[in-house]
Amino acid sequence: MHSRSLRARSWALPTLLVALPAIVLACSSTSAGRGAPPVVAAAPQTHTARAPAAAEVQKAAQARKPSAQASDVERVLHLAATDNRVQEHLRHLTKEIGPRLTGSKRFDRAAEWCRDQFKGYGLDARLEKWGEFDVAFDRGRQQGRIVAPEVQELVFQTSAWTPGTQGAVRASALLEPADQAGLDDLKGKLAGAWLVRRAERPDGKLRRAIEDACEAEGLAGYVAGARGDLLVMFGGHKVKLDKLPKQVRIQLRHDQHAALEARLAGGEAVELEFDIENTFTPGPVPCFNVVADLRGTDQPDEYVVVGGHLDSWDGAEGAQDNGTGVSTTMEAARLLAAAGVKPKRTIRFVLFGGEEEGLFGSEGYVRDHEELLAKTSVALVHDGGGTALQGIAPDYRMFPDVEAVFAPLVASHPKFPFTVRELDALQNSQDSDHAPFLTAGVPAFFWEQSEEGYEHVHHTQYDTFETVDPEQQKHSATVVAVAALGFANLDHLLDRTTLQEGKPLPRRRMGVQLDGAKVTEVTQGGKAQKAGLLADDVIVSIDGVAVKTQGEVVSALQKGGARKSFRVQRGGAEVEVVLDYTDDAAEKERAERAERKAQWLREHPRKPTK
Ligand SMILES: [Zn+2]
């Protein structure tokens, strides 16, 4: 569901980034009995020791067979380094099953397969129904071509829950009329034809007249152009069996559409053929989450939830959205079970359905397990693609615990440092399965990871298995496993005081598009535009804090007082621009919370870093 344009997950401003030699790991083994591994460092500053090369760590991890006394964490890290099957899970999901639209047969196959895998690891696994859809939609084989005057394959998609063709439909391509005269000219010729939309769409009135004429004459379907090379998939699940959409609506890759429009505008006669197997199945269609428990020993009725959504759009294989999150969740379960860990609390692995349509599975989980929420320490959601998990952002009260949970990971892979970043209060981006937990007052996190290359695959025809880097996935599965165990073994539930202080505050927004710290676009009417920030300005610092990346900009923006002094490089000069949030509704509450934080830190001074 999540759109990622300026969802800056700022991980560039680490509160803690320490690469310590592996020996530290050993010491954490002794602390396993005492709950959380030792706090390695607390003060919000960065230290960088020489990190052993990736190969060295790998070799060391492989060579160092964990001793019988080794801690659970060390056994998990060793297994994750020597026998990591995350890519096998992903390959099966994407290649053996394919895209998993909520309510579709492939989703159900995937849900049953995941459940059975979890059972195979020795977990108590089941499907939990969270609701129903009225109509199931399954996408089958599809092909589109120009068939005359020459043959050319077409790259296209139809939205989910829209009709396909009854077999191959070959017909003339007609160009959408630009005026009433053009429409009058087309009347009587529309039956069974393909209408190619213009990039420059006619006005609303004419558009409706065209739709009416097409409907009346029984057009085969519409062929519109995508904005660019990416065919971004979407669809509306709220269809009723007795009111199914009738028109085939094709989205053609931009370049092919532009060429076709030009040929038709030039008067050339072109014939198209589409054969699209989209099927609707009457409901009610039961919709599920997959839930699997690794039961706790000391507090089995307390939970740590880790997961991500199993459903995907169906324009490709749903690899990075969200096969990667599903496979790291499964591998974490397998690693923990195979390492024979005995967590204090129950670790509950949840693969949600209905995320793309509106967080339905996670909302359903929170609704149907309300009685467990007070004893659910944390929920961790992986739904950001195939890059390595590299950060988490707890609030200041949770920080020491979270820092301790991730201490074993700081040095586990020098290529993928892990950052624990401290916030005044948790952020709720409302756009993935962590959101319903946060809204219900349960600490919940969306893992931070690089967005590199994500836009290219996000809901597009390119979201395939081959786009995923195995090394990063293996590391992410390791992070999920160690995190689940760490939180499950804390001496107490994660602190949720700031959550009970009221909803996480909305983030301060600028109203710009950023490339790193460079402003690429200024939104009309936004904070930045009002303050006089211009496109091409390069933000140098905010309130004196130097910034270089998008993450650093957004993180610095959330900190401190409401008037933000930006220093920006504009052409050859450096100028100051002040973005003023004083009148924003959230500012008063933000200031009060900052004071409460200062008070709490005075009462709970951080242990000095070694
Ligand atoms: Zn997603």
Query: Are residues 452 and 494 part of one domain?
Result: yes
| pLDDT confidence of residue 516 | 86
Query: Are residues 302 and 422 part of one domain?
Result: yes
Query: Are residues 492 and 362 part of one domain?
Result: yes
Quick check: is 609 in a domain? no
Give the Å distance between the CA of 458 and the centre of ligand 1. Answer: 8
- Average pLDDT across the chain, whole number: 88
Query: Are residues 239 and 122 part of one domain?
Result: no
Quick check: is 463 in a domain? yes
Give the Å distance between the CA of 63 and the centre of ligand 1. Answer: 37
Query: Are residues 292 and 265 part of one domain?
Result: no
What's 554's domain CATH number? 2.30.42.10
Quick check: is 397 in a domain? yes
Residue 564: band (very low, low, confident or very high) from pLDDT cuts 50, 70, 90: very high
Range of the domain at 525: 512-582
Quick check: is 604 in a domain? no
Query: Are residues 353 and 306 part of one domain?
Result: yes
For every residue of 232-255, DSSP letters joined together read ---B-----GGG---SEEEEE-HH
Q: Residue 170 in 3-state DSSP?
A: strand
Query: Does residue 329 surpass a pLDDT of 60?
Result: yes
Give the Å distance between the CA of 354 and the centre of ligand 1. Answer: 10
pLDDT in tens, 153-212: 999 999 999 999 999 999 999 999 999 999 999 999 999 999 999 999 999 999 999 999
Query: Are residues 546 and 462 part of one domain?
Result: no
Give the Å distance between the CA of 539 and the centre of ligand 1. Answer: 30
What is the distance between the alpha carbons of residues 379 and 365, in angstroms, rounded to a whole number?
Answer: 12
pLDDT in tens, 77-95: 999 999 999 999 999 999 9
Give the Å distance between the CA of 578 and the centre of ligand 1. Answer: 35
| pLDDT confidence of residue 296 | 98
Query: Are residues 456 and 328 part of one domain?
Result: yes
Query: Are residues 434 and 295 part of one domain?
Result: yes
Query: Per the structure, how many domains does the chain have?
Result: 3
Quick check: is 526 in a domain? yes
Give the Å distance between the CA of 441 and the centre of ligand 1. Answer: 22
Give the Å distance between the CA of 47 and the centre of ligand 1. Answer: 34
Quick check: is 601 in a domain? no
Give the Å distance between the CA of 380 and the centre of ligand 1. Answer: 14
Give the Å distance between the CA of 432 and the centre of ligand 1. Answer: 7
Q: Which of 477, 390, 488 is nearest to 79 (CA)?
A: 477
The DSSP letter of residue 373 is G
Query: Are residues 441 and 330 part of one domain?
Result: yes
Going from the C-alpha of 240 to that of each of 250, 281, 283, the distances in angstroms are 21, 11, 9
Q: Among 209, 235, 269, which residue terminates a domain?
A: 269
What's 317's domain CATH number? 3.40.630.10
pLDDT in tens, 190-201: 999 999 999 999
Quick check: is 329 in a domain? yes
What's 252's domain CATH number? 3.50.30.30
Query: Are residues 496 and 517 part of one domain?
Result: no
Tokens of 222: 């519409």
Question: Given the structure tokens 């009417």, which residue do they identify?
Answer: 525
Q: Strand pairing partners for 546?
A: 541
Q: State mean pLDDT over 489-516.
A: 86
Give the Å distance between the CA of 239 and the centre of ligand 1. Answer: 22
Give the Å distance between the CA of 325 and the centre of ligand 1. Answer: 8
Quick check: is 339 in a domain? yes
Give the Å distance between the CA of 259 and the centre of ligand 1. Answer: 33
| pLDDT confidence of residue 587 | 86
Query: Are residues 324 and 439 part of one domain?
Result: yes
